[in-house]
């Protein structure tokens, strides 16, 4: 009591109601087997608003002084949050229980479920020369070399459920199957189950000369020491292949691809992350908007790469090529052609034809020997530096718009353009830039030991 009147200390009852409701739900979750807390919240969260409204009405009629009127700013914010969260939970629960939600794996977002692990196995006779088709909605797939005439599947199931009995039921409904359909062996690690609560990691043993097709929506694919052609696709996972004597067709979404020691050709597409390729003896084709780094080495049959930002073609790559969002560096590439933007480009020890078209980046190139093929470098808003052996013979056509020329080979320093024959003339060298400098350099001759 102060100054003759009382200050009632009252706050919002919504916060305590939320805490009480959550506590009751978690108690039910722990003490009633099979209780679906997520479903309970999705269906009955509006009851919290009803109880809160009844409490406020009771407070209003029990306080004749009218000291408690309306909603405070904090109460309004809390009310909005409860409504938005409640609507979100309801929408998530309905989506999770729809066909689309199950296929998208929304079951794994259940905060009240636990993880259970089970193991299963199955095998079947595999006729000679029959291909295998693996369909895995969720889970990793690993191919291992096995005995002739046998397909053997070993499966580890990670099951999301709210009780042991529910997990057991889901596991029984997701047994692996191997059966012949339309002339090929079809392997389903989780059987015909389409539940998003089961992730079936498959280890499949097959004769290594078996052609295999793998399709997984959520999972990594791993193969080593295989002799037949492979067709592998993962929508959300990594791809790792090594020691392949056949050809490979791969598709990666939201994952990395690591491929090495392949005898046949390689076709790779998708919209994944990093790509690492090494020792692929067949032709390599890459298509897609990969967001990570490109790391290539020892591709004797060359590579073609196409994305929305970069078009790249190399006739042969006995050396290496690395590319990320801001840089491209090639070493010992033969017949290199690239069109890109916003990259700093370095080409060392190139042979054969060289064509580079870039925007907003610097370009440096150095030849591994005397030119025998044309060189064309175009840059916008960037510098160009070309280094050639001192005894080179070529025909130069250089133009620096709002820039200048510099360097060796009799290039007129400070001029904006140059047309001249070097060493009596030879393959054409076309250099174009805007707002940059074009520089030609003489490479020092190498000693017998290879040092400069």
Dump pLDDT digits (tens) for 364-375.
999 989 999 999
CB 440 within 8 A of CB 388: yes
Does residue 270 or residue 166 have the better pLDDT? 270
- pTM of the full structure: 0.76
Helix/strand/coil (H, E, C) string of the chain?
CECCECCCCCCCCHHHHHHHHHHHHHHHHHHCCCCCHHHHHHHHCHHHHHHHHHHHHHHHHCCCCCCCCCCCHHHHHHHHHHHHHHHHHHHHHHHHCCHHHHHCCHHHHCCCCEEEEEEEEEEEECCCCCCEEEEEEECCEEEEECCCCEEEEEEEEEEEECCHHHHHHHHHCCCCEEEEECCEEEEECCCCCCCCCEEEEEEEEECCCCCEEEEEEECCEEEEEECCCEEEEECCCCEEEEEECCCEEEEEECCCEEEEEECCCEEEEEECCCEEEEEECCCEEEEECCCCCEEEEEECCCEEEECCCCEEEEEEEEEEEEECCCEEEEECCEEEEEECCCCEEEEEEEEEEEEEEEECCCEEEEECCCCCCCEEEEEECCCEEEEEECCCCEEEEEEEECCEEEECCCCCCCCCEEEEEECCCCCEEEEEEECCEEEEEEECCCCCCCCC
Tokens (6 digits) for 322? 């690395």
Tokens (6 digits) for 327? 């840089």
Residue 360 main-chain phi, psi, to 5 deg = 60, 50
pLDDT tens for 324-383 read: 989 999 999 999 999 999 999 999 999 999 999 999 999 999 998 999 999 999 999 999
Handedness of CA 159, 164, 167, 172 (dihedral sign): positive
Query: What pLDDT score was predicted for residue 66?
Result: 54
Query: What pLDDT score was predicted for residue 3?
Result: 47
394-402 average pLDDT score:
95
Q: 110: pLDDT confidence band, cut at 50, 70 and 90?
A: low
Q: Whose structure tokens read 């050809």?
A: 247
Instruction: Report the mean per-residue pLDDT for the chain.
Output: 86
pLDDT tens for 399-450 read: 999 999 999 998 988 888 999 999 999 999 999 999 999 999 999 776 544 4
C-alpha 311: how far from chain center: 20
C-alpha 137: how far from chain center: 18
Query: What pLDDT score was predicted for residue 450?
Result: 47
CB 305 within 8 A of CB 321: no
For the chain, the structural domain boundaries read: 14-97, 112-219
Q: Whose structure tokens read 């020997």?
A: 369
Lowest mean pLDDT among 44-53, 181-190, 244-253: 44-53
Contacting residues for 238 by C-beta, under 8 A, at least 6 apart: 220, 221, 252, 255, 256, 257, 258
Q: 390: pLDDT confidence band, cut at 50, 70 and 90?
A: very high
Whole-number Å distance between alpha carbons of 284 and 259? 11
Q: 101: pLDDT confidence band, cut at 50, 70 and 90?
A: very low
Q: 34: pLDDT confidence band, cut at 50, 70 and 90?
A: low
Strand 239-244 relative to strand 327-331: parallel, antiparallel, unpaired?
unpaired
151-180 average pLDDT score:
90
Q: 16: pLDDT confidence band, cut at 50, 70 and 90?
A: confident
Closest CA to 305 of 289, 323, 285: 285
Lowest mean pLDDT among 13-27, 103-117, 139-153: 103-117
pLDDT tens for 123-138 read: 999 999 999 999 998 8
Whole-number Å distance between alpha carbons of 370 and 373? 9
Q: What percent of the chain has pLDDT over 90?
A: 60
Query: What pLDDT score was predicted for residue 104?
Result: 45
11-25 average pLDDT score:
72
Whole-number Å distance between alpha carbons of 174 and 102? 14
pLDDT at position 202 over 70:
yes
Contacting residues for 370 by C-beta, under 8 A, at least 6 apart: 388, 389, 391, 392, 393
């Amino acid at each position: 009591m102060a100054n003759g009147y009382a200050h009632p200390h009252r706050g919002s009852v919504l916060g305590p109601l939320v805490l009480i409701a959550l506590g009751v739900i978690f108690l039910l979750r722990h003490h009633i087997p099979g209780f679906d807390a997520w479903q309970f919240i999705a269906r009955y969260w509006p009851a919290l608003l009803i109880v809160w409204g009844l409490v406020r009405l009771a407070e209003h009629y029990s306080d004749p002084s009218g000291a408690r009127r309306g909603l405070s700013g904090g109460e309004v914010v809390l009310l909005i949050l409860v409504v938005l969260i409640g609507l979100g939970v309801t929408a998530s629960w309905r989506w999770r229980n729809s066909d689309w939600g199950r296929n998208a794996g929304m079951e794994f977002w259940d905060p009240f479920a636990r993880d259970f692990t089970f193991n299963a196995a199955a095998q079947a006779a595999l006729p000679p020369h029959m291909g295998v088709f693996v369909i895995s909605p969720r889970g990793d797939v690993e191919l291992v070399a096995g005995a002739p005439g046998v397909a053997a599947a070993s499966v580890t199931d990670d099951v999301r459920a709210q009780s042991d009995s529910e997990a057991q039921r889901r596991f029984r409904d997701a047994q692996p199957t191997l059966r012949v359909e339309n002339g090929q062996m079809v392997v389903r690690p989780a059987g015909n189950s389409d539940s998003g609560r089961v992730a079936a990691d498959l280890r499949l043993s097959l004769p290594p000369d078996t052609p295999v097709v793998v399709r997984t929506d959520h999972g990594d694919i791993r193969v080593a020491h295989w002799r037949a052609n492979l067709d592998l696709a993962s929508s959300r996972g990594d791809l790792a292949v090594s020691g392949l004597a056949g050809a490979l067709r791969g598709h990666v979404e939201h994952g990395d691809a690591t491929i090495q020691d392949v005898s046949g050709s390689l076709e790779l597409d998708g919209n994944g992350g990093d790509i690492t390729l090494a020792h692929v003896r067949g032709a390599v084709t890459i298509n897609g908007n990969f967001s990570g780094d490109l790391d290539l080495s020892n591709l004797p049959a060359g590579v073609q790469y196409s994305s929305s930002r970069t078009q790249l073609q190399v006739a042969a790559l006995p050396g290496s090529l690395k590319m990320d969002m801001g840089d491209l560096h090639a070493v010992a590439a033969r017949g290199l052609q690239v069109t890109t933007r916003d990259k700093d480009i370095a080409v060392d020890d190139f042979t054969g034809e060289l064509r580079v078209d870039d925007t907003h980046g610097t370009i440096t190139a150095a030849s591994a020997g005397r030119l025998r093929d044309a060189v064309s470098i175009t840059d916008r808003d960037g510098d160009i530096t070309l280094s050639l052996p001192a005894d080179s013979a070529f025909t130069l056509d250089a133009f620096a718009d709002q820039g200048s020329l510099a360097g060796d080979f009799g290039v007129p320093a400070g001029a904006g353009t140059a047309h001249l024959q070097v060493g009596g003339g030879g393959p054409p060298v076309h250099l174009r830039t805007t707002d940059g400098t074009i520089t030609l350099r003489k490479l020092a001759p190498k000693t017998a030991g290879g040092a400069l």
